[in-house]
């Protein structure tokens, strides 16, 4: 299928879907119930998708069919009458953040022509990412954290002490953090939300130069869709915690379980990416109910046109 199917109507459709999920999950904001917040987002996102004139298939979703009753991998969504597309989604990126009413909870979705998104299993992925305008190969998963900082600093013409690296605050990253600090890099720790962490490397106003560490493989695919739209570099390698996870990956067509993927192997054609804020964060503002209206803030990108739009919606309720 041609990437010409990713037209303007699909951009607006993506916004409607993530807006619906964000508003629904906001109703459970701060109530301490992660599952309820996620379920509200899932229900709203699925309903919104099924109203669209698309022939969509979930390739990154809530899990396999026996694990998730809705938005499972392989589920067909839409009316079936429109373009054939792969869909990657996270109805609530940062369920803990939403349950605690903390910043940076998002609803996220990406789509691309059928058969062009990596069908990543629900496991971990080693990730490294940086923004656009840098020499190809400036970062590499097979280098040490210190080596990557030095290479990035040299490419940017700054000392290593001026490089800021975003890392998920997890015990497994202690060695990475030590390596970064050994060359004087600043480490920006986040509790959740590594999709936004990767995207922030593309925006100079965030001060984030590099993203490094392991997180969910599905989130890696979503982040790559955003980078496909705005530029940047990404490498990822799947991490398996058990023989069952390796077998699952093989079932989904992953033949080289130790492969180091780059951005264009994860997203192999044009893509549309949308993220709506549930709570305020560095990427987008959160949902607000004020004066009888609901307000949302969405970031939507289209790689085929190179456009990035901020959409602010106000609707009476």
pLDDT digits (tens, 9 = 90+) for 258-295: 999 999 999 999 999 999 999 999 899 999 999 899 99
Mean pLDDT, the chain, rounded, equals 93
Q: Residue ranges of the domains in the chain?
A: 3-115+271-316, 124-266
- The percentage of residues in the chain with a pLDDT greater than 70, rounded to a whole number, is 97
Tokens describing residue 213: 């560490």
Find, among 231, 248, 257, the residue nearest to 129 by Cα.
231
203 is in an annotated binding site: no
Whether 51 has a binding-site annotation, put simply, is: no
- Record the pTM: 0.93
For residue 54, give the DSSP letter: -
269 annotated ligand binder = no
| 192 known member of a binding site | yes
Q: Is 215 annotated as a binding residue?
A: no
- Is 95 labelled a binding residue? yes
- Sorted by sequence, the CB contacts under 8 Å of residue 192 that are 6+ apart come out as 93, 94, 96, 97, 104, 168
* CATH architecture designation of domain 3-115+271-316: 2-Layer Sandwich (3.30)
170 a known binding residue? yes
- CATH of the structural domain 124-266, one choice from 3.40.50.300, 3.40.190.90, 1.10.1740.10, 3.40.50.980: 3.40.190.90
Report whether 220 belongs to an annotated binding site: no
CB 93 within 8 A of CB 106: yes
216 labeled part of a ligand binding site:
yes
Do the annotations mark residue 211 as ligand-binding?
Answer: no
93 is in an annotated binding site: yes
What does the alpha-carbon distance between residue 288 and residue 29 come to, in Å, rounded to a whole number? 11
Provide the pLDDT for residue 274. 98
More confident residue, 209 or 8: 209
pLDDT category, 63, cuts 50, 70, 90?
Answer: confident
pLDDT digits (tens, 9 = 90+) for 8-53: 789 999 999 999 999 999 999 999 999 999 999 999 999 999 999 9
- Nearest Cα neighbor of 190 from 175, 177, 178, 181 is 177
pLDDT of residue 171 exceeding 60, the answer is yes
Q: Give the per-residue pLDDT at 65.
A: 61
Mean local confidence (pLDDT), 122-144: 96
According to the model, what pLDDT value does residue 205 have?
Answer: 92
194 is annotated as contributing to ligand binding: yes
Q: How far apart are CA 161 and CA 286, in angstroms?
A: 33
For 197-223, b/e burial (b = at least 16 CB within 10 A) is bbbbbbeeebebbbbbbbbbbbbbbbb
Instruction: Identify the band that residue 67 occupies on the pLDDT scale cut at 50, 70 and 90.
Output: low
Res. 247 pLDDT band, cuts 50 70 90: confident
Tell me whether the CATH fold assigned to 3-115+271-316 matches the one assigned to 124-266. Answer: no
């Amino acid at each position: 299928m041609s990437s010409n199917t990713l037209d303007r109507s699909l951009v607006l459709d993506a916004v409607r879907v993530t807006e619906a999920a964000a508003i629904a999950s906001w109703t459970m904001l701060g109530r301490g119930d992660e599952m309820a917040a996620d379920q509200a987002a899932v229900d709203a996102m699925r309903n919104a998708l099924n109203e669209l004139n698309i022939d969509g298939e979930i390739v990154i979703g809530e899990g396999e069919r026996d694990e998730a009753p809705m938005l499972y991998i392989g589920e067909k969504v839409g009316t079936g009458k429109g373009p054939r597309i792969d869909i990657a989604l996270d109805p609530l990126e940062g369920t803990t953040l939403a349950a605690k009413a903390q910043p940076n909870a998002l609803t996220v979705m990406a789509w691309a022509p059928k058969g062009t998104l990596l069908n990543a299993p629900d496991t971990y992925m080693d990730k490294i990412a940086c923004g656009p305008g840098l020499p190809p190969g400036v970062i590499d998963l097979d280098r040490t954290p210190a080596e990557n900082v030095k290479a990035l600093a040299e490419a940017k013409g700054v000392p290593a002490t001026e490089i800021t690296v975003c890392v998920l605050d997890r015990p497994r990253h202690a060695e990475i953090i030590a390596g970064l600090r050994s060359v004087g890099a600043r480490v920006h720790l986040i509790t959740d939300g590594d999709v936004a962490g990767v995207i922030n490397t593309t925006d100079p106003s965030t001060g984030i130069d590099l993203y490094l560490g392991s997180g969910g493989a599905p989130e890696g695919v979503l982040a790559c869709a955003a980078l496909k739209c705005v530029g940047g570099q990404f490498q990822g390698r799947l991490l398996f915690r058990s023989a069952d996870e390796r077998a699952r990956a093989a079932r989904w067509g992953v033949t080289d379980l130790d492969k180091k993927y780059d951005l264009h192997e994860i997203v192999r054609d044009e893509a549309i990416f949308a993220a709506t804020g549930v709570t305020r964060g560095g990427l987008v503002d959160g949902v607000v109910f004020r004066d009888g209206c609901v307000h949302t803030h969405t970031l939507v990108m289209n790689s085929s046109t190179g456009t990035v739009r901020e959409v602010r919606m106000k609707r009476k309720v």
